[in-house]
Amino acid sequence: MCSPANNVARRLVELLDTIEFVSPECTLYVVGRAAFGRFRGFEPVWIRVVGGLAAPALLDELELQGVPPMQVSSLSAKGQSLSVAHHEDAACPVNLLFVPDQPASHRPTNLVTGRPVDMVGADRFRRGTTS
């Protein structure tokens, strides 16, 4: 279950910072309700990882930085299989969705259903949680 919003936001910023440290060429988005600081119950926060290191390499690098190992699964989106890493953070669970660097990956749409979704870049999320 998600802890108070400020603790969740702080932990998300730490994770975003760590991902950007180990894979500076990727683009990160916080997707869904969490994009604007709305955290709810047991719902995981979704972070879209666009480009950069492949999922296995990025997860190895995160472990070297002290992030606990994550379980990995996949989901099907528009005919392609995408890796999802499940981070069981004490503050709130987080799912990292690894997507190729294509124009559709940067659009605020659900990659499975095509419906609009709230989505902000890592920098905008940081600004919104530190103001």
CA 3 and chain centroid, separation: 18
All domains of the chain in start order, with CATH: 5-130 (3.30.460.10)
Predicted confidence (pLDDT) at residue 9 exceeds the cutoff of 90: no
**Model's pTM, two decimal places?**
0.91
* Count of other CB atoms within 10 angstroms of residue 110: 15
pLDDT tens figures, 65-119: 999 999 999 999 888 899 999 998 767 899 999 999 999 999 999 998 999 999 9
pLDDT tens figures, 116-128: 999 999 999 998 8
Distance CA(119)–CA(54), nearest Å, equals: 22
Count, residues in the chain? 131
Sign of the Cα torsion 21, 101, 82, 53 reads negative
Give the confidence band of 1 by pLDDT, cuts at 50, 70, 90: very low
Q: Is 62 exposed, middle or buried (0-12, 13-18, 19+ CB in 10 A)?
A: buried
Residue whose token pair is 């989106």: 77
Q: What is the reported pLDDT for 45? A: 94
Distance CA(55)–CA(61), nearest Å, equals: 10
- Mean pLDDT score, 8-36: 94
Q: What is the reported pLDDT for 3? A: 56
